[in-house]
Structure 1
Amino acid sequence: MDGKVIIFGGSGYIGKQATIACLEKGWNVISVSRTGSQIRNTNLIDLVVDFVDFDYSKVSENDCVIYCAGVAHNKYKNESAEYANNTLPVNVATQLKDKVKKFVFISSSNVLGIKRKNKFNPDSYDPIDSAAKLKMKTERALLSIFENSKTLLSIIRCPMVYGKGAPGNINMISKLARLPVPFASVKTTRTMLYSKNLTDLLTKVLEFDRPPKVLLVGDSQALPFNEMVAVISSSMGYKSKQFKLNIFFLRLLLTIIGKRALANNLSNDFLIESSIKHDRFCWSPTFTHKQGLVESFNRERER
């Protein structure tokens, strides 16, 4: 790459993984966040600054931007989420229009709804909750901003991203996987995305001359939920202890304890075609779902 990679949200989980992947390519990286990435590398400038205070005049037309900032996992509500997940990315994109080579926005597959099997229409929205509606709103704004711009826009729609140290539901599932849990009858299959598969795609998008505008990605060979829990258990060195419980009562229990999203996911398959073929752009995930889970939770890697 001739220019720098500027990562907005470099202190978050995906931002850190993207930073590491770009540095491993030997690229110069600027991480922009309010807390810092805590990564040390001679090719990294770790800026601790609000996005509104970033000096946009110093970017160049060969630079590429990855925008993966935002609030997630129900940390904030209403106005804070609107500002972080819509207002900020739209403002950053407006500032960078025609000033950088590429703008890559990390979005969510939740903009498509909770039920989907190997069907993909980039214009088909069916957001499942307020967070997904904000992602949809931001996607539409970005598509409008960059419609006639020399800056190339790529939107990457991700299902649940997991990996070593990942936050969110996958972290909760890994804790439950050590205990007797009522998941033996849950055979719902939902595509997920290993962080190393995501960063591999990200670097390919940055390297490719004209990448697709919208990409829907996931691991290959998605596992049913009960098998996924068993793989996580064994990877951590535990014997899987799953027992059967009627799915209706399981969903009710999860809803009562405030895990409505997980309850909905246990009732609906969501399968994504893992490989991408678009004109000359071709990509397939390096890791299968099982391989990603083993790498993420292998107890030997925790030492």
Structure 2
Amino acid sequence: MTKKVLITGKDSYIGTSFIKYCKENNYDLIIDEVDTRNDKWKEADFSQYDVVFHVAGIAHANAKKSQSDLYYKVNTDLTIEIANHAKKNGVKQFIFMSSIIIYSSSKLNNGEITKDTIPYSKDPYGDSKIKAENGIMPLSDENFKVVILRPPMIYGKGSKGNYPKLSKAAQVLPVFPNFNNKRSMLHIDNLSEFIKLLIEFEKKGLFFPQNENYIKTSDMVKMIGEVHGKKIVLTKMFNTFILISLKIVLVKKIFGNLFYVKSLSNYDWANYQVRNFRETIVLTELELR
């Protein structure tokens, strides 16, 4: 039976990429989008959909701390309102995009996140996501299955955030620090496949999808350079400076550790690793599709 999916958050990177991925793979899903930047979403007939995939939100880079009210209005209040509306109209599954950012102020052991790590964020973006999770999880039952995704940094062709900055650096820098770090990341195709499987198997609960292997920033930069035919020399010359500068936000974002233990992301029902590391870089950097 073909399932119908409503993406709340029109023209989002994740939503648009999911639609494209499902079409390319001929998945048996009917997918619509609705804009949430006004109240027109309330006019949509939610009762005809099996799944609501909620991707609308104010991203970390799109609002200042002085606009913290906007984070809570969009990321928290709107999410809870749409989830309640979906349940009231008989939707069977609600999928919410949260983020690894909810751990931005948590006590971590060298960047490691386990099932026992308590989410905590002093940042309005992360805190608004935590409050959204807390607001929708109690709605979950056998007739309305709530899914919360806490992905790490998502990247792919057309993505925003830190990846494009690293890509630009890789294309102009002759050298780059060879600093040993470990980060969880998630390519958009691996995420899209995971979402498709969540829908197919009608799952509910908390999920932590990530690429099969952790990423070392210097390895990623070097591979990006290789894809563009550029050789980058990796050097440990700057490592001492980086080590003493890890409390600086920008340095921490690039060279700090932040990763989920593998056990959080392995599911016996979900073989979602459709792209290996090299493939993800090639597909992200070059228009091969």
Q: Same fold (TM over 0.5)?
A: yes
Q: Tell me: CA distance 1:128–1:295, structure 2 relative to 1, closer, same or farther (3 Å).
A: farther
In 2, Cα distance between the equivalents of 1:182 and 1:84? 41
- Aligned twin of 1:231: 223
1:291 to 260, 264, 279: 279
Q: Tell me: CA distance 1:61–1:150, structure 2 relative to 1, closer, same or farther (3 Å).
A: farther
TM-score, normalising length: structure 1:
0.80
Q: Say if 2:165 is the partner of 1:176.
A: no
In 2, Cα distance between the equivalents of 1:250 and 1:117? 17
Deviations along 1:238-261, one digit per CA (max 9) or x if unpaired, are: 222444313535875995xxxx25
In 1, Cα distance between the equivalents of 2:132 and 2:174? 38
- Aligned twin of 1:126: 120
Q: Tell me: CA distance 1:57–1:225, structure 2 relative to 1, closer, same or farther (3 Å).
A: closer
In 1, Cα distance between the equivalents of 2:251 and 2:82? 32
Q: CA RMSD in A?
A: 2.8
Deviations along 1:107-130, one digit per CA (max 9) or x if unpaired, are: 112223474436224x73133633
| Secondary structure of the corresponding residue to residue 207 of structure 2 | strand
In 2, Cα distance between the equivalents of 1:208 and 1:197? 17
Q: Report matched runs for 1:182-193 at 5 Å.
A: 183-193=176-186
Please say if residues 174 and 231 of structure 2, whose CA atoms lie closer than 8 Å, have aligned partners that are also in contact: no
In 2, Cα distance between the equivalents of 1:15 and 1:251? 39
In 1, Cα distance between the equivalents of 2:50 and 2:28? 15
2:62 to 72, 75, 97: 75
In 2, Cα distance between the equivalents of 1:248 and 1:104? 42
Q: Tell me: CA distance 1:10–1:191, structure 2 relative to 1, closer, same or farther (3 Å).
A: same
What is the total number of aligned residue pairs between the two structures?
A: 277
| Secondary structure of the corresponding residue to residue 52 of structure 2 | strand
In 2, Cα distance between the equivalents of 1:72 and 1:18? 18
2:32 to 30, 37, 44: 30
Unaligned regions of 5+ residues in structure 1, if any? 34-48
Q: Say if 2:270 is the partner of 1:248.
A: no
TM-score, normalising length: structure 2:
0.84
In 1, Cα distance between the equivalents of 2:80 and 2:10? 18
- Aligned twin of 1:166: 159
| Secondary structure of the corresponding residue to residue 62 of structure 2 | coil
1:203 to 192, 196, 210: 196
- Aligned twin of 1:60: 47
Please say if residues 63 and 102 of structure 1, whose CA atoms lie closer than 8 Å, have aligned partners that are also in contact: yes
Q: Tell me: CA distance 1:69–1:181, structure 2 relative to 1, closer, same or farther (3 Å).
A: farther
Counting aligned pairs with the same residue, the percent is 24
Unaligned regions of 5+ residues in structure 2, if any? none
Q: Tell me: CA distance 1:79–1:197, structure 2 relative to 1, closer, same or farther (3 Å).
A: same
- The letter for the 2-side match of 1:285 is Q
Deviations along 1:26-63, one digit per CA (max 9) or x if unpaired, are: 42211112xxxxxxxxxxxxxxx645222456222652
| Secondary structure of the corresponding residue to residue 81 of structure 1 | helix
| Secondary structure of the corresponding residue to residue 29 of structure 2 | coil
In 2, Cα distance between the equivalents of 1:83 and 1:68? 15
- Aligned twin of 2:92: 101
Deviation (angstroms), 1:25:
1.4
Please say if residues 182 and 256 of structure 2, whose CA atoms lie closer than 8 Å, have aligned partners that are also in contact: no
Deviation (angstroms), 1:276:
2.6
Deviation (angstroms), 1:147:
3.5
Please say if residues 194 and 270 of structure 2, whose CA atoms lie closer than 8 Å, have aligned partners that are also in contact: no
| Secondary structure of the corresponding residue to residue 171 of structure 2 | coil
Q: Tell me: CA distance 1:76–1:105, structure 2 relative to 1, closer, same or farther (3 Å).
A: same
- Aligned twin of 2:137: 143
In 2, Cα distance between the equivalents of 1:4 and 1:191? 31
Deviations along 1:250-287, one digit per CA (max 9) or x if unpaired, are: 875995xxxx2552451324244274326xx3334222
In 2, Cα distance between the equivalents of 1:139 and 1:192? 21
Deviation (angstroms), 1:80:
1.8
Deviation (angstroms), 1:90:
1.2
| Secondary structure of the corresponding residue to residue 70 of structure 1 | coil
**Higher mean C-alpha displacement, 263-272 vs 211-220:** 263-272
